[in-house]
Structure formats: C-alpha cells, structure tokens
Amino acid sequence: MNPVEKKSYWSERYLKNQVGWDCGEITPPIKEYIDQLTDKSISILIPGCGSGHEAEYLWRAGFTNTHLLDFAPEALALFSERVRDFPKEQLRCGDFFEHQGKYDLVLEQTLFCAINPNDRKKYAKKNGGFN
C-alpha cells in the first residue's frame, strides 16, 4: 500500500506538526470563488479538509450547510478547536472513497495531489456522483 493511502500516515503528520501544505488561512483563488457564490444555503463538501481554513471562511460568511471530511481525526480536531461554534454533526471522519452523500458543490484543495496517483480516475468518478 502506498503510504498516502494510510490514515496513520496523515495522522502522524498532524501530530508532529509536519503540515507544510497548510497555508494557515484560506487561499486567494478559493476565497475569490466563494465570494462570487450567492446562494448561502447550498450543501458543500470539503473532502481532505485538513484544518479547514476555507470551511471557516464559509461558516463566518453564512454558509451553514458545509460538511468537512477527512480520515485523520487530528485534522478535524484542529478545525473544531479553532471554530468552536461549527456544528459537530457536519464534521465527518472517514475515507473520501467510501463517503456517501449528495452535495451541490465539492470544494477541495490538495486532496487530489495527496492520493495515490493510481486512484485519480476513481477520484474523478467519485466527484461526479457521491451516491
């Protein structure tokens, strides 16, 4: 198994604070994309959310139907320690490839490049339909 397929690999990165990919805030292209959305009731999934800076931005901007998904509980803990008023039932700890759900929008940053390259077709198919 490629190490990136193991959640223990990612958990360890969070536990050791080896998170060089984390920008510490929402990135400008995602912010710009969110800023042009008008319907704040849409359901949004952020898979491989990590510490979820875009989720925090969405929440503070009034998007109430945002769901975070990551298989490393340590990542979700970082988010919920920072955004304490975010609904806990919208934090989902699990594998993207096994996740079931239906969303209006899937918003992600650096999950595609974090998975095993052999799974990229499976990833694209999954994003085309969660059911």
Ligand X SMILES: C[S@@+](CC[C@H](N)C(=O)[O-])C[C@H]1O[C@@H](n2cnc3c(N)ncnc32)[C@H](O)[C@@H]1O
Which positions touch ligand X (CB under 6 A)? 10, 21-22, 48-50, 69-72, 75, 95-97, 109-111, 114-115
Question: Measured from the CB of residue 36, what is the shortest distance to ligand X in angstroms?
Answer: 20
Question: Measured from the CB of residue 108, what is the shortest distance to ligand X in angstroms?
Answer: 6
- Neighbour tally for 117: CB within 10 Å: 11
Q: In this structure, are residues 83 and 59 in contact, taking their beta carbons and an 8 Å threshold? A: yes
Closer CB to ligand X, 50 or 63, in the complex: 50
Q: Which residue is nearest to ligand X (CB)?
A: 50
- Beta strand ranges found along 3-130 (DSSP E): 44-47, 66-70, 91-93, 105-106
DSSP 8-state secondary structure symbol assigned to residue 64:
-
Question: Measured from the CB of residue 13, what is the shortest distance to ligand X in angstroms?
Answer: 8
Closer CB to ligand X, 97 or 103, in the complex: 97
Q: In this structure, are residues 72 and 11 in contact, taking their beta carbons and an 8 Å threshold? A: yes
Report d(CA 6, CA 9) in Å as an integer: 5
Closer CB to ligand X, 38 or 129, in the complex: 129
Closer CB to ligand X, 58 or 75, in the complex: 75
Report d(CA 110, CA 68) in Å as an integer: 14
Question: Measured from the CB of residue 109, what is the shortest distance to ligand X in angstroms?
Answer: 4
